[in-house]
Amino acid sequence: MKSVSCAILALLSISLSSGCTKTSSPSEEVIEYARSATPENPETAEVYQRSCMACHGSGTSDAPLTGDTNAWQPRMKKGMDTLLNNVVSGTGGMPPYGLCMDCNAAEFQALITFMATPAQI
């Protein structure tokens, strides 16, 4: 479906077609999913909604969007230990502890796993 529309755009305009090869911006469906998705575990959900969702659930932030495989795959490749370290110390626009000062490593790991899980769309 997506490749068909890209092919049509490519025929219409070479400059427009470059938008299709950019895989980093999430689709409307993923943005929609991220807006409302929450972890199943109630405790993880509570922390997610309180601390992470404002940035990771919103397509307007630089944060990798919840459920956006393209955004999370390269980050997951760094390994969970590196990601946990970056959450604790902060990285780029990501504040230390993701604003959850009382979260422990297991909670962060559950939150990361949830956010990196491909959107159910």
Tell me the residue number closest to ligand HEC, measured at CB: 92
Q: Residue 40: what residue type?
A: E
Candidates 26, 39, 68, 108; binder of ligand HEC (CB under 6 A) is 108
Cα 42 vs. chain centroid, distance in angstroms? Answer: 20
Q: How many CA atoms lie within 13 A of 63 on its CB side?
A: 25
Measured between alpha carbons, how far is 74 from 78 in angstroms, rounded to an integer?
A: 7
CA dihedral sign, ordered 73, 75, 81, 85: negative
Binding-site string for ligand HEC from residue 39 to residue 68, where x marks contact by CB under 6 A and - marks none: ------------xx-xxx----xxxx----
In the complex, the smallest distance separating the C-beta of residue 21 from ligand HEC, rounded to whole angstroms, is 22
Query: Rule CB under 6 A: is residue 93 a binding residue for ligand HEC?
Result: yes
Which residues of the shown chain bind ligand HEC in the complex (CB under 6 A)? 51-52, 54-56, 61-64, 75, 78, 83, 86-87, 91-95, 98-100, 103, 108, 111-112
